Amino acid sequence: MPKSMSTQTKRIWTLMIGYLCFSVIWIYSTDPIIRNYLGGTQEYFVMKRIIFNTLSAIFFLVYLIRKNRASQKIEDRFRLFIQHSSDIVVVIYLNGIIDYASPSVEPLLGYKPDEYKGESIFQFLQVSEHDQMKNRFALRDKKASEESFEVVFLHKNGNHVLLNSKCIPILNDDGKLQQFAYISQDITEKTVAVQKQQETEDRYQKLVEHSPETTLIYNQKGEVVYMNQAGVEQVGATSIDEVIGLNVMTFIAPESVDQAKKRLSEITQGGETVLSEYFINRLDGKKIIAEILSFQTTYNNESVIQVILRDVTERKKVAKQLETIAYVDPLTGFGNRNALYKDLDPSLIKHAEQNQLLAVYFIDLDRFKTINDTFGHTFGDVVLQQVSERLKEHVCDCCQLYRLGGDGYVVVHPQTDEQKAEAFAKKLSKAFEQPFTLNERTLYLTISIGISVFPTDGETIEELIQQADTALYTVKANGKNHYSFYSNEIKTANDRKMELEMGIRNGLTNNEFSLHYQPQIDLTTQKMVGVEALIRWTHPTIGFVSPMEFIPIAEETGLITLIGEWVLKTACRQFKDWLDAGIGLTSIAVNVSGVQFKEKDFANTVQQVLHETNLAPHYLDLEITESVTQDPDEIIRIMNELKTLGVRLSMDDFGTGYSSFSYLRQFPIDKLKIDKSFVDEIEKDNNAEAIVAAIIELGNQLRYDIVAEGVETKEQGQFLQSKNCQYAQGYYFSRPLPADELFSVMKKDVG
């Protein structure tokens, strides 16, 4: 029997041979028995045939039953497989009519199996697939089952489902083709995924090829195996052939070799992907700065390292230019304020660790604003450049120079003590004893210097700069052209100033200010004709604060406007109350700060106050000092606005200020007030008496009222009266009094 014979065939042959042997044995063994023992009658031979046929029938019945059960098990297993398979099984007649569809068609195509049965397969195909399916039906040979193909089915919801199918011919009992069984798998998502992957790969390849940044791949030997076109151009090659095969270290400049080797070791050991910066040597000899990102990958099934390189040479150049703009003063080339803070911070840390002193010199040119206003800002810039050169010539090599803007400079001396610091300050001052020659002009410039020392005067940049600036302010206030160290006395004075500044703000809110009123006396009648309002401040903790101390602070901080408006409103309201009470005074004098007087809306403020207090304008006498004559045109405009309101104007402290005699005839004033410093010298200094007499004579000639301030003796009053001075005020007549006390006096003396 052939070796290729199946087990099932062997069983059949064994059964047939066994049955044949049984038949032969039965026939030849039973006949002698019947003849010899049963008499050989015909009935026994008939019985033998019946028994043989019965046994044969039973044998074949058992065989067929077992065969049928085996076939049923196979069929059940096949049906179970079909029902639970995710693949679609469709049996189709040769005319395209569907005979059977497996349950898997419903989840994949949306149709139930019964909806397929009896329908044409073409009804469920995309129209473009009809011809292909017809060609499949035309096949009648082995090609029908050997080749798989893809076909697009229509889902019940209208979507397209791509199936990979294989055709199995089904033959009838005669061996002729009866049907086709199609076994199909849904490959829609797989196909889409493959397409997307292919598209991604295509995009990546195009991105790499057309990227302006270099992409380079080298193998474990360090040999370049790939470089895109941008890389070819970036490394100075003319073609890819010049690059392929070169060792990657060829492109690394010597100063970056160690860094590159260390980074390569980290990558091969699985280190993180980080951005590194290298100097790169191009093949054409040029050197560039590059940012490089390196990581392990595969290329042509080989473990390689991929490099993405970006030329940042220009960016570095621009960054350096921006840093210059950010940290360098363009006029002088010195460091600016940003550079001062950047440099000084680490320097302070170093000096603190080494317990060393460091001096900060804040330098300011004296009268630089006058130079700018006189000769213009262009000339002023040249002056600053010359000053910078002189400073540079006279500072130590260890010093750092900065210009903070305007005419302010800072010198940081890191190697000093208090004696050296003072000697250095003297050296800087002495450097400006020699004049500057600019555009055929000779200029003598001086500087004021404020000095702070680390860590005595501060431990931070802000503290040291602030203390040096405070010391500089002290020098400026005491005549300029000198130097001063920051000290406890300066700190105390500065703290006092800050306390008063804050106190002024709170004092206005908490009603800590009050007005006292000093009578103005008619020297002819010796009667009170007016009063001057004088502000007083009682601080809740400091106590009485003199106006000579807090008024300059108020002017510097801009608070004088609020104070002045409060004084004006309070004085006018009080004077109106006195008038309503029957006190027959002719004027109320109110001092006006030059800062307040020069405000644009000052005349409107006065008008508003008069309106609110219901006081007639001619009662109000505004006293201004000679300091306002620095800008005569603007002052005359404001004065004319006030005169239009009907207000009276007085020139206070006349003769002590800016020699305003030349403007006196232009100012629409009503009264001159002789300063107390001249009155004090009456009967002591003939020159002072002559000045007082001249002022009185000048005022009378110009038809001004004359008021003498600070009269403290009878003799002073008599002298003034003898020189035709109309009015006077001072302690000889009365000290300044609170409103209620003065009201009691006025009820007796005025009226």
DSSP 285-325: S-EEEEEEEEEEEEETTEEEEEEEEEE-HHHHHHHHHHHHH
Q: Give per-residue pLDDT as tens, 694-731.
A: 989 988 998 999 999 999 999 999 999 999 999 999 99
The DSSP symbol for 519 reads E
For residue 112, report the phi and psi dihedrals to the nearest 5 degrees.
-80, 155
CB contact set of 294 (below 8 Å; sequence gap of 6+): 263, 264, 267, 273, 276, 305, 306, 307, 308
Write down the residue that tokens 């019946």 correspond to. 50
SS3 161: strand
pLDDT given for residue 1 in this prediction = 41
Segment 144-162 mean pLDDT: 73
SS3 17: helix
Write down the residue that tokens 């199609």 correspond to. 182
pLDDT given for residue 3 in this prediction = 44
Quote the tokens at residue 503: 């106190």
pLDDT given for residue 750 in this prediction = 47
Percent of the chain with pLDDT strictly greater than 90: 30
Strand ranges for 18-106 from DSSP E: 88-93, 98-101
Write down the residue that tokens 């598209």 correspond to. 199
pLDDT given for residue 37 in this prediction = 66
Q: Which helix H or strand E contains 632, and what residues bound it?
A: helix 632-645
* Furthest-apart CA atoms within the chain: distance in Å: 202
The answer to which of 159-173, 291-305, 428-442 has the lowest mean pLDDT is 159-173
pLDDT given for residue 734 in this prediction = 94
pLDDT given for residue 306 in this prediction = 86
Written as one letter, the residue type at 652 is: D
Q: What is the mean pLDDT of the chain?
A: 83
Q: How far apart are CA 694 and CA 688, in angstroms?
A: 10
Q: How far apart are CA 605 and CA 602, in angstroms?
A: 5
Residue in 407, 478, 479, 417 with CA at minimum distance from that of residue 451 = 417
Q: How many CA atoms lie within 13 A of 531 on its CB side?
A: 28
Q: Give per-residue pLDDT as tens, 443-462.
A: 889 999 999 999 988 888 89
Residue in 417, 491, 415, 434 with CA at minimum distance from that of residue 458 = 491
For residue 309, report the phi and psi dihedrals to the nearest 5 degrees.
-120, 135
Q: pTM for this structure?
A: 0.53
Confidence band for 613, pLDDT divided at 50, 70 and 90? very high
Report whether pLDDT(81) > 90: no
Write down the residue that tokens 């213009």 correspond to. 376
Report whether pLDDT(55) > 50: yes
Tell me the CA end-to-end span of the chain in Å, nearest whole number.
Answer: 162
Greater confidence (54 vs 209) lies with 54
Greater confidence (287 vs 51) lies with 287
Greater confidence (632 vs 336) lies with 336
Percent of the chain with pLDDT strictly greater than 70: 86
pLDDT given for residue 563 in this prediction = 94
Yes or no: say if 624 and 642 are a contact pair by the CB < 8 Å rule: no
